[in-house]
Amino acid sequence: MTKEIIRAPHSGFCFGVKRAIEAAEHALLEEAAYRQKQMETDLKKTEQPEKRDNRLYSCGPLIHNDIVTGDLEAKGLSIIHDLQEAREGDTVIIRSHGEPKQFYDRAESIGIKVIDATCPFVKRIHHLVHEADLTGWNVVIIGDKKHPEVIGIRGWCKNAFIVNSRIEAELIEEDHLYVVAQTTIRKELFDEIISLFREQKKEIIVENTICSATEERQTSCMETAKSVEMMVVIGGRNSSNSWKLYEISQKYCAKTFFIENLKDLPLKEVEKCNKIGVAAGASTPESVIEEVIANMSETTLENNEKNLMHDLMDEIEKSLRLPRSGEIVNGKVLQATEKEIIVNLGCKKDGIIPKEEISLEDGQKLTDLFKEGDEIQAKVIRTDDGEIILSKKKLEINAHWDEVAEAFENKSVISVKVVRAVNGGVIASYKEVAGFIPMSQLSDKYVENADEFIGQTLDVKVNRIDRMKNRVVFSHKALLAEEKAKKIAEIWGKLNVGDIVEGTVMRFTDYGAFVDIGGIDGLLHISEISWGKLRHPQEVLAIGDKIKVVVLQMNEEKGKISLGYKQNQPEPWTVINDKYEVGQVVSGKVVQIKEYGAFVELEPGLDGLVHISEVAHKRVANISDEISIGQEVNAQILEIDTERKRISLSIKACLAPEDVPVAEDEVAVEENEEAAE
């Protein structure tokens, strides 16, 4: 009987994905043409030519389909997950999901050329949230906060709420909301959250940014699923929109299968059904869709009989042959002891799982976990000496590798334990997966000795992964840098000129001090520390001091903040009449000596002049003979001129005439005069 295969309309590449792939292929062709031309030119030259080794990358997989990305990589398009992996002169393609504004700024500062293949629909959302944020709206993004598209949208506004359910939306207390959506979310979820905001009578602006192609694809998938016996959804394992098609299809067709390619197709289920629907995600190549449909189209009774015979032969062959090393097998527990588990594998020999190949918690026994007849899955690690040795741990490692790979793809955080120090860094384990953390990635500060990290549990990002070689590189620094960037962005969003904040004095320069105000260093210029004149900041401050400072200027683009400390006290001349009056005797320190007089500091920012004629009761030819810089003196205020900001002082007014010392030569003259008389 000929099967009826119904392909849901709008399946396969969407406009944005197709555009991104075309951009990548065009860039690869240009690079290949350049290389060819360069090679031809080099052959004609006698001198060694200058080599161009600039590379072409995509930041993250261009689409969520291993077949496509593998083909592009074979042509020369490598994948990176952070701009730190590229260098000046390289070219980076921004995938259709888009990137935050900071990505473009970093690329420009490093000297990296960018080919922007962001989907136009996503690009529009970037502009919308950026403008909304600038005009004071609270941006709400309905979508998955871990999805690259949502991460990119979030990076175009200072603050945003990201919600993926009605429950999360109910936690938003703010009003004045500007609402957008991830292009691939279900419209039912979008409508549900919008209805909630309207029920709460919030002031909202709604931009339905769900891609029309996404809505059409999801609707056609639903309609197809309603009319068939079985649904096959084709897409990449990491494709968000493909999994949404799977979820939709399951609601209307219980027999729904998710596959990546032909080898995942459940042939036995296909044989049982005569009316089968096919839907495909936005990142599924046409060749894969056609291959799957072609293999389902014709299944006759003769084929069924052949398949049944083939299955029977497979069962016989399986019972005769022994499983190979590395193979994953299923079986039933025959016996559980304290040392091992005996497993019936359906072949001529039973398998053995030693105790050390099963993960046990403290105090657990094998006999507590396994009973006769239990279904069990394990990995074959050895088939020598007439025994089939199995491992549950090795099977778990596969699952743990999947988790690490998922963290790498989604740029999510995992926790690892530092096990030991090695040359250039440390070995850290994520469950059963061991990875390397370079010394430079252990902290955002310089690390001289890695021993201090041994035994610690660190949150990390996955920098690189090579599943074939069982190699993975973690970075704690990347996470710290990300958290610091978020913290700094949060601080910038809250700070305003004129704010008084607490800070910690971190370091000095000749021109001022740098003060940490909660994650950002601001410059406290020496002229803003005191109303008086300072030669160095440490005359007033010390490293580690907790001080209150005023935000004087902010330049977020350059990342600079100017602070003031003296503003915590009133400028002395504004309150001089409250503290000083003519005739008052004051004390102060001599800070400057001139030919015509000396300046005495009464308090920081307030100096008075003692004219040379007011230093002593006698005639003074050189002030330095009478007083010196740094000397504490008493003086009487003769005049206060607030308009010209001048104070006149007199030292001699505080000295009685008899207190004035008489020089020895003057005494001798007086004695001679008395003798003459």
Among all residues, which ones are annotated catalytic?
A: 149
CA distance linking residue 502 with residue 395, whole number of Å: 54
Instruction: Please give the DSSP secondary-structure letter assigned to residue 63.
Output: S
Rg of the Cα atoms in the chain: 40
Residue with tokens 């001529």: 348
Q: Is the dihedral of CA 474, 477, 478, 483 positive or negative?
A: positive
Question: What is the per-residue DSSP string for 581-600?
Answer: -TT-EEEEEEEEEETTEEEE
Burial class for 183, CB neighbours closer than 10 Å (0-12, 13-18, 19+): buried
Among 349, 306, 376, 281, residue whose Cα is nearest residue 68: 281
172 three-state secondary structure: coil
Among 132, 95, 136, residue whose Cα is nearest residue 116: 95
CA distance linking residue 132 with residue 224, whole number of Å: 39
Q: What HEC string does 333-357 produce? A: EEEECCCEEEEECCCCCCEEEEHHH
Indicate the residue type of 673: E
Among 600, 581, 605, 604, residue whose Cα is nearest residue 590: 600
Q: Is the dihedral of CA 182, 183, 187, 191 positive or negative?
A: positive
CA atoms within 13 A on the CB side of 383: 14
Beta bridge partners of 472: 465
Are 645 and 574 within 8 A, CB to CB?
A: no
Q: How many residues does the chain have?
A: 677
Longest dimension (CA), the chain: 158
328, containing H or E segment: strand 328-336
Among 282, 288, 287, 290, residue whose Cα is nearest residue 15: 282
